Amino acid sequence: MKKTLFALAASAAVMLSAGAAQADGHAKTKACFIYIGPTGDFGWTYQHDEGRKAVEAEFGDKVETAFLENVPESAEAQRPIEAFARSGCNIIFTTSFNYMDPTNKAAAKHPDVKFEHATGYKREHPNVSTYSSKFYQGRYVQGQIAAKMSKTGVAGYIASFPIPEVVRGINSFILGAQSVNPDFKLKVVWVSTWFDPPKEADAAKALIDQGVDILTQHTDSTAAMQVAAERGIKAFGQASDMIKFGPKTQLTAIIDDWAPYYKERVKAVIDGTWKQQDVWHGMDHGSVAMAPYTNMPDDVAAMAKKTEESIRDGSFEPFTGPVTKQDGTVWLKDGEKADIGTMLGMNFYVKGVDDKLPK
């Protein structure tokens, strides 16, 4: 019910802006964005919108941007995406996994419009590209810091849904931690939501009561950071710099920086050089960045910086053997690197995770 109304209102808004766009005869390049949440979520959608603003700042009068918030991840998404395509958008970024099919369907009907789908894998038409970021690289750095900073030797992980993206983060975190302390343990709590501040706070409290003294999360709000601050333990921010919510608490945060990619792709449209591609950028492209290392001794910060640097310049990759799976079987032999297929479909834990992976 609610979602339908959102979609209806969304399409109406697009219709209105459509008239304005056509009036100036497509003189400008129009970049449009479809968001899953509100731009003020201070996490995922907020960062995408920062990318949109960066596009505006970079190209000034040459571009025009538009966005729609709270577009549901279902067939409902079809209408606003197509409305965008009809309204003169030259390039449309659809920024959540389940916009995959609607994006491809819209692409078939609008061959002149470029489509960019975040975190997906379907490119059924030449005008669809996919893109994502290697957030797990930042998790490895966090794991190392956690192992150095923890007194109890146990960290807590607030997880959303057991999809490969999240599992990859958990595994990367524990591998980082074990590189410092081989006996380090990780407790995982699943909250079955991306965004529910009180629930995230409950999970944080439960983990702290169970003896963890470092928190990290793969959910979108700043609630866990606040609980950590209240209880006097340390925590990592997620998707965005959350230092304001824990000035004495945040160690660092993984920041999703979409700006470089959005600028690159919009420029390609302006220059007429846009081509279909599938990219999975990491720290090397600046799409995964770390917030300043705070609330930790200098030697820990120095170690974190060194690891971050080695991942950025490509001399190190978190998923490098030897790695043992949770069930005790060998996944990667010494020096062996994980293949991309296993990475993208990761559905198992590595050794040291104190949890049973939900199927």
Partner 1 sequence: MDVWISIILSICAASTPLLLAATGELVVERSGVLNLGVEGMMIMGAVAGFATAQVTGNPYLGALVAMGAGALFSLLFAFLTLTLVANQVATGLALTILGIGLSGMIGEGFVGRPGIRMEALDIPILTDLPIIGKLIFGQDLIFYISIALVFGVYWFLFKTRAGLTLRSVGDNHTSAHALGINVIKVRYLAVLFGGACAGLAGAHLSLVYVPQWVEGMTAGRGWIALALVVFASWRPGRVLVGAYLFGTVTIGQFHAQAIGIAIPAQFLTSLPYIATIVVLVLIARNRRMTMLNTPASLGQSFVPDR
Pick between residue 187 and residue 263 the one whose CB is nearest to partner 1.
Answer: 187
Q: Are 140 and 175 in contact (CB under 8 A)?
A: yes
Interface with partner 1, residue 358, by CB under 8 A = yes
- Closest contact distance (angstroms) between CB of 355 and partner 1 is 6
Tokens of 239: 């998707």
Interface with partner 1, residue 351, by CB under 8 A = no
Contacts (CB under 8 A) with partner 1, residues 224-243: 226-227, 230
- Closest contact distance (angstroms) between CB of 215 and partner 1 is 12
What stretches of the chain show up as alpha helix (H) in DSSP?
A: 2-23, 44-59, 78-86, 100-109, 136-149, 164-180, 197-209, 223-231, 259-271, 298-312, 340-344
CA distance to 6, 82, 283, per residue, from 86 (Å): 19, 6, 35
Query: Which one of 84, 93, 184, 245 is in contact with partner 1 (CB under 8 A)?
Result: 245
Pick between residue 54 and residue 224 the one whose CB is nearest to partner 1.
Answer: 224
- Closest contact distance (angstroms) between CB of 174 and partner 1 is 14
Pick between residue 92 and residue 229 the one whose CB is nearest to partner 1.
Answer: 229
For residue 179, give the amino acid letter. S
Question: Angle at which helices 164-180 and 136-149 pack, to 10 degrees?
Answer: 40
Question: Which are the contacts of 57, defined by CB distance < 8 A and separation ≥ 6?
Answer: none
Interface with partner 1, residue 197, by CB under 8 A = yes
Query: Which one of 131, 195, 261, 349 is in contact with partner 1 (CB under 8 A)?
Result: 195
Query: Which one of 1, 23, 27, 340 is in contact with partner 1 (CB under 8 A)?
Result: 1
Interface with partner 1, residue 294, by CB under 8 A = no
Pick between residue 187 and residue 325 the one whose CB is nearest to partner 1.
Answer: 187
Interface with partner 1, residue 164, by CB under 8 A = no
Query: Which one of 187, 267, 285, 325 is in contact with partner 1 (CB under 8 A)?
Result: 187
CA distance to 88, 119, 131, 146, 222, per residue, from 46 (Å): 24, 16, 18, 26, 13
Tokens of 221: 């709000």
Pick between residue 209 and residue 327 the one whose CB is nearest to partner 1.
Answer: 209
Return the range that interacts with partner 1 (CB under 8 A); candidates 218-226, 253-261, 280-288, 321-329. Answer: 218-226
Q: How far apart are CA 124 and CA 133, in angstroms?
A: 21
Interface with partner 1, residue 76, by CB under 8 A = no
Interface with partner 1, residue 214, by CB under 8 A = no
Using DSSP's 3-state secondary structure scheme, residue 300 falls into helix
Q: Which residues pair with 180 in a beta bridge?
A: none
Return the range that interacts with partner 1 (CB under 8 A); candidates 38-46, 59-67, 95-103, 275-283. Answer: 38-46
Tokens of 350: 């590595």
Closest CA to 101 of 86, 121, 80: 121
Q: Are 17 and 87 in contact (CB under 8 A)?
A: yes
Pick between residue 190 and residue 316 the one whose CB is nearest to partner 1.
Answer: 190
Q: Which residues bind partner 1 (CB under 8 A)?
A: 1-2, 5, 37-38, 40-42, 156, 162, 187-193, 195-203, 205-207, 209-210, 212, 221-223, 226-227, 230, 244-245, 354-356, 358-359
